[in-house]
Structures are given as C-alpha cells and as structure tokens.
C-alpha cells in the first residue's frame, strides 16, 4: 500500500454537510483493514523519534486516529471535546469558525507541564480547531512536538495558522 492507494479509499460526498461542500468521507478507508493499518502506521512512524508522551485527539474523528497512534507510540491519550462532554474540571477555549464561534475543553489535569504532546485530527481545513486545541495544550504547559493529520485541504491554508508547529499530513488536496 502507498499514499496513492490510500487516497483512492477516501470517498467524496457532494453537498455535505451543506450545499457547496465536498466532504472527504474516511469511513471507506477505516473499514479496509490494510488501508487503516497503513494510515496509522504511516502517521505513527513519523513521530517514533519524538518521545511522545501524550497524544491529544480532537473530537470526534481525531479520537479514532489519536487513540491508535497513541497505542503505536506507547503514549497516553487525551480527548479534546466540545463543552459539557467531559466529566471532570476542565479548561476551555473559544475559537472562530468560518460561520461563527465554537469552544473546546480538556480536563485540567490531562497534561503535566513539560510533557511531549502530539496533537492529531483526521482533517486540516482552516486550522481553527487545531489552533484552539494547541492553545489548550500550551495552557497546561505541554510541549507540542508535532501536529498530525490524515488529510489536509491545502487550498484552505490551514497550515498557515499552525506555522509555528511541526506539521505532517499524510494526504494533501491542493
């Protein structure tokens, strides 16, 4: 398997979730065992030498990739969720969306100062969600050693918002 074969496993859905959007559906990749293994192994191998202690996954598809990558790296996993979804005390951050504002939360004891953190999500679009996630990590004193995505929509320039971090995407659509 290679990245081209992996890309072929991603299905395009027109006009989802709204008119004019071309949605990159990864469920077709996730259900293919060899493709799923290749995706996780490829992303995890990029960070083998970074001594990652915590993988942070962004709700909800970031949980799928983040948990598997954390397992591969022998690291802990921390979920970043929408407000009101975590049971313990949390820290929160608001961020801008293309069409409004949203907020994310993380348990206040999720990351210890100085811990080496890899942040993971399935897709990089405009960078707003990941930017907010990285602010949470840094608020707790975590050291971001990488930011990983399965897919990057390069034409949306989300990488520009994350330019201060080492970023790796497996598949890029320009």
To the query of whether residue 92 is one of the catalytic residues in this protein, the response is: no
Q: Residue 98's pLDDT band (boundaries 50, 70, 90)? A: low
In this structure, are residues 80 and 58 in contact, taking their beta carbons and an 8 Å threshold? Answer: yes
Instruction: Spot the catalytic one: 11, 50, 98, 135.
Output: 98
Q: Which helix (H) or strand (E) holds 65?
A: helix 61-73
**Domain membership flag for residue 4:** no
Alpha-carbon distance of 148 to 141, in angstroms, equals 20
Residue with tokens 């897919």: 151
We report the CATH number of the domain holding residue 60 as: 3.40.50.2020
Say if 43 falls within a structural domain.
no
In a domain, 128, yes or no: yes
Q: How many structural domains does the chain have?
A: 1
pLDDT tens for each residue of 32-90: 999 999 999 999 999 999 999 999 999 999 999 999 999 999 999 999 999 999 999 99
The per-residue pLDDT for range 101-129, each reduced to its tens digit, is 899 999 999 999 999 999 999 999 999 99
CA-CA distance, 96 to 100, in Å (whole number)? 6
Which position among 7, 11, 19, 61 bears the catalytic label? 61
Residue 2 lies in a domain: no
Domain boundaries, position 154:
50-173
Q: Could you confirm whether 98 is annotated as catalytic?
A: yes
Query: For residue 129, how many C-alpha atoms fall within 13 Å in the half-sphere facing its CB?
Result: 21
């Amino acid at each position: 398997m290679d990245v081209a074969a992996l890309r072929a496993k991603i299905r395009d859905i027109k006009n989802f979730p709204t008119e004019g959007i071309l949605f990159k559906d990864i469920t077709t990749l996730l259900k293919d065992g060899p493709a799923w293994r290749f995706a996780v192994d490829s992303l995890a191998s990029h960070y083998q030498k970074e001594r990652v202690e915590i993988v942070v996954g962004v709700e909800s598809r970031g949980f799928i990739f983040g948990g598997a990558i954390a397992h591969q790296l022998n690291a802990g996993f921390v979920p970043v969720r929408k407000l009101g979804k975590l049971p313990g005390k949390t820290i929160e951050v608001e961020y801008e969306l293309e069409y409004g504002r949203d907020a994310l939360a993380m348990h206040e004891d999720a990351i210890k100062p100085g811990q080496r953190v890899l942040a993971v999500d399935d897709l990089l679009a405009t960078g707003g969600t990941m930017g907010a996630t990285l602010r949470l990590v840094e608020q707790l004193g975590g050291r971001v050693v990488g930011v990983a995505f399965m897919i990057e929509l390069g034409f949306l320039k989300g990488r520009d918002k994350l330019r201060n971090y080492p970023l790796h995407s497996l598949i890029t659509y320009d």
